[in-house]
Structure 1
Amino acid sequence: MVVTPLREVPLPPEWGIGLSLKDESAQPSGSVKHRLLRAAFVQALAAGQITEGGTVVMASAGPAAVAGAYFARMLGLDFVVVVPRSTRPEKVAAIEAAGGRCHPYHPPAAIYQEARRLAADTGGFHLDHFAAAHAIDWRGVTSTDGVRGGKVTGGGHAGDGSAGYGDGVFRGGDVRGGAVEGGAGGGHIAGEIFEQLGRSPEWIVAGAGTGATSATIGRFLRYHGYETRLAVADPENSAYFPGWASGVSDYATGMPSRIEGIGRPRMEPGFLPSAIDLVVPVPDAAAVGALAHLRALTGIAAGGSTGTCLWAAWRLIDRMRAEGRRGDVVVVMGDAGAAPVLDGDAYAAAIGRFLETGSLDVPQ
């Protein structure tokens, strides 16, 4: 099991506040969706939904596709990803480098229907990573029977928690060594944060795409009785902030997010508002500015979803200072990919002044 690193962002020591990045891009697949897709594959294996040498089809052009391709290749499976025809060439290249085959389709809103059709036509398994958002064990313990030490134990029937593949291991698909061992969930991201810090952070900040990461962290915090609060950073055009604020579970904006991997035009079933303490709406330009400042300060190159979360973290740190609170803020660093081409200079400058003066002036 890979324990991803915490990367410290230096703050004035007299503040008594720590800022760290939980670098999920350090996963073997390089994807923040690594834990989710690992859990989804384990669940499908245990239910007998994936067959040896078979085909797995999913619809995504984000980090989930890269993680899915990684696990499919490990298991010797054909992996087809339905992507919008407008997907950037570098993202297609990343999916293909991980072992996937891209199937461009238009319009973008219909890629999910096309993935279901392809799976049905090929006799493959449709991996719906939005529906699989609850596959991760949020308690931080192993819950999937039939999976031991990274292998699928044999002899069972689909649906009874075992895989039913005789000796239980696909040829070339012995998924040990930090891949899918330990059942659905494996190492828990929040549990790792607590162990690495050696104390409870004041805030954990995450983005929301499927909603799986935030739901998993929020449930973990409540199950174990931690006082740590969870904030979700939400980009422009996303339904999560207005849906959370209004309590409307089917809220929709009908507009796509410009930040890769997070933000959705509708509230997804994996998003759990009751497990979240705060949703912070973040201008896309603020995400770009936060990334530019991060790189100048630390040399860390990150992507748009990390920038979105980082700006939310700066807002929370400003609030902590105003309230006289000390403690840690941990940002889930979800990607190392590209960010939108926007002018974020005003936001980068505001962060720089904040570190000098202790006062965050938000650009208008």
Structure 2
Amino acid sequence: MTQAALSERRAWNAQAIRRIEADITRTSDTHLINHAIEGTPGITLYFKDESSHPTGSLKHRLARSLFLYALCNDWIGPDTTVIEASSGSTAVSEAYFARLLGLRFIAVVPRTVAAAKIALIRFHGGEIHYVDSPGEVYEASARLAEETGGHYMDQFTYAERATDWRGNNNIAESIFQQMAREEHPIPAWVVCGAGTGGTSATIGRYLRYRRVDTQLCVADPETSIFHRHFADRSITSLGACKSSIIEGIGRPRHEPSFIPDVIDRMDAISDARSIAAMRVISARLGRPVGGSTGTNIWACARLISDMAARGESGSVVTILCDGGERYTDTCFCDDWLAERNIDWQPHAKALESFFATGALHEVCPEA
């Protein structure tokens, strides 16, 4: 590359970073919602509402960080095709930033991804490349990047390092700033899920950096590898197995961005419980939330029930990952759930009782 070409690329790179920073400036922080629990007046549950990002999910933060990381490493230029392996939401957000920079974007997704997410990827100018199973996304993405001369963003490798965990308006810093004037400003627990592991790594590192007593709980689908790897580091892959219907969290293999050592507790949550919690919280908030939020909520209910039984007070913060509008044809469709033998109603009754009494009595055996 000639010196003139290098200078031209450097100028484009600087302009691309400026555009993303301008987008950050235009976007106000997401809301922190105080949600009282009738049965535990001394314990308050908070939702960090990431659905209010321009692309409607927590993955907006990740996509922004991944683009800045790639730009500052000079992996992306003015003619680069960007490729990503995704279960939908990250691809929606990356399509948004690719269009902001005038770049072609291809999302590699399983055929099972909710139709509403596919529509959003296309709405933001992205293209779709389907694979038959979640485990095929990695190889297909790398192959497409080679064929197009493009860049495979690879969220599952770079998520934990693309975000500055010390601050710079990451989600952990935002939570603690917003909690500063609450009755219990230092949460007893922060609860999140893990898709790449980037969010849990950022929060876990930040908690240690700030030297606070807050503990981190990661809520994981029962069929995911992450909670198994957390319990036994030698377990790194599940091979061929039934995958969760909860999109965006849980994986069949241990991803490089998942850092178990910064996590204090992991809870495995069944799909039926996640759907029940999604439905109950949607009704309580008066608007639909996604399935991964339901997974988080069930873990919160377990933690708060235990706190109440010990006579403790405090706060618990979790993440409202995305809106339920993306799942009208899946998690909010009773026929779709029935076809998959998801009997969520008994769990919904148990969770409603929890909000009334502060005690979670889980339905066993699994309904």
The TM-score bracket by the shorter chain reads 0.7 to 0.9
Paired residues of 2:293 and 2:321 also in contact (CA < 8 A):
yes
Secondary structure of the 2:51 match is: helix
Secondary structure of the 1:130 match is: helix
The C-alpha deviation readout for 1:260-294, integer Å capped at 9, x for no partner, is: 00011111111111100100111111111111211
Q: CA deviation at 1:39?
A: 1.1
CA 358–257 in structure 1, closer or farther in 2 if over 3 Å, else same:
closer
Alignment match, 1:35: 61
Q: CA deviation at 1:249?
A: 5.5
Q: 2:87 aligns with which of 43, 61, 69?
A: 61
The C-alpha deviation readout for 1:285-333, integer Å capped at 9, x for no partner, is: 1111111211222213101100000010001000110111111111111
Paired residues of 1:238 and 1:253 also in contact (CA < 8 A):
no
CA–CA separation in structure 2 for the residues paired with 1:25 and 1:86: 22
Alignment match, 1:193: 175
Listed as ranges, the matches of 1:299-338 within 5 Å are 299-336=286-323, 337-338=326-327
CA 33–14 in structure 1, closer or farther in 2 if over 3 Å, else same:
closer
CA–CA separation in structure 2 for the residues paired with 1:5 and 1:303: 17
Alignment match, 1:49: 75
Q: 1:25 aligns with which of 46, 51, 70?
A: 51
CA–CA separation in structure 2 for the residues paired with 1:291 and 1:89: 19
Q: 2:123 aligns with which of 91, 94, 97?
A: 97
Q: 2:200 aligns with which of 203, 214, 217?
A: 214
Give yes or no for the alignment of 1:121 onto 2:147.
yes
C-alpha RMSD over aligned residues = 1.7
CA 358–40 in structure 1, closer or farther in 2 if over 3 Å, else same:
closer
CA–CA separation in structure 2 for the residues paired with 1:107 and 1:289: 26
Paired residues of 2:39 and 2:357 also in contact (CA < 8 A):
no
Normalized per residue, the structure richer in helix is: 2
Alignment match, 1:5: 31
Paired residues of 2:78 and 2:103 also in contact (CA < 8 A):
yes
Q: 1:111 aligns with which of 137, 145, 156?
A: 137
The C-alpha deviation readout for 1:182-211, integer Å capped at 9, x for no partner, is: xxxxx1111111111111111110000000
Paired residues of 1:56 and 1:127 also in contact (CA < 8 A):
yes
Alignment match, 1:144: none
Q: How many residues align?
A: 319
CA 325–282 in structure 1, closer or farther in 2 if over 3 Å, else same:
same
Identity, in percent, stands at: 44
Q: 1:268 aligns with which of 225, 243, 255?
A: 255
Paired residues of 2:307 and 2:313 also in contact (CA < 8 A):
yes
Secondary structure of the 2:62 match is: helix
CA–CA separation in structure 2 for the residues paired with 1:357 and 1:13: 4
Amino acid at match of 1:248: S
Give yes or no for the alignment of 1:343 onto 2:318.
no
Q: CA deviation at 1:350?
A: 1.0
CA 10–45 in structure 1, closer or farther in 2 if over 3 Å, else same:
same
Q: 1:241 aligns with which of 199, 211, 227?
A: 227
TM-score if structure 2 supplies the norm length?
A: 0.83
CA 90–288 in structure 1, closer or farther in 2 if over 3 Å, else same:
same
Alignment match, 1:167: none
CA–CA separation in structure 2 for the residues paired with 1:352 and 1:282: 17
Paired residues of 2:113 and 2:247 also in contact (CA < 8 A):
no
Between stretches 239-248 and 195-204, larger displacement belongs to 239-248
Q: CA deviation at 1:9?
A: 2.0
CA–CA separation in structure 1 for the residues paired with 2:294 and 2:116: 20
CA–CA separation in structure 2 for the residues paired with 1:317 and 1:43: 37
Secondary structure of the 1:15 match is: coil
Gaps of 5+ in 2: 1-23, 332-336
Q: CA deviation at 1:110?
A: 2.1
Amino acid at match of 1:53: D
The C-alpha deviation readout for 1:59-93, integer Å capped at 9, x for no partner, is: 22321111110110111111011222343432211
Paired residues of 2:37 and 2:358 also in contact (CA < 8 A):
no
CA–CA separation in structure 2 for the residues paired with 1:356 and 1:59: 41
Paired residues of 2:163 and 2:202 also in contact (CA < 8 A):
yes
Gaps of 5+ in 1: 142-186
Q: 1:204 aligns with which of 186, 190, 196?
A: 190
CA–CA separation in structure 2 for the residues paired with 1:15 and 1:248: 42
CA–CA separation in structure 2 for the residues paired with 1:14 and 1:117: 53
Alignment match, 1:155: none
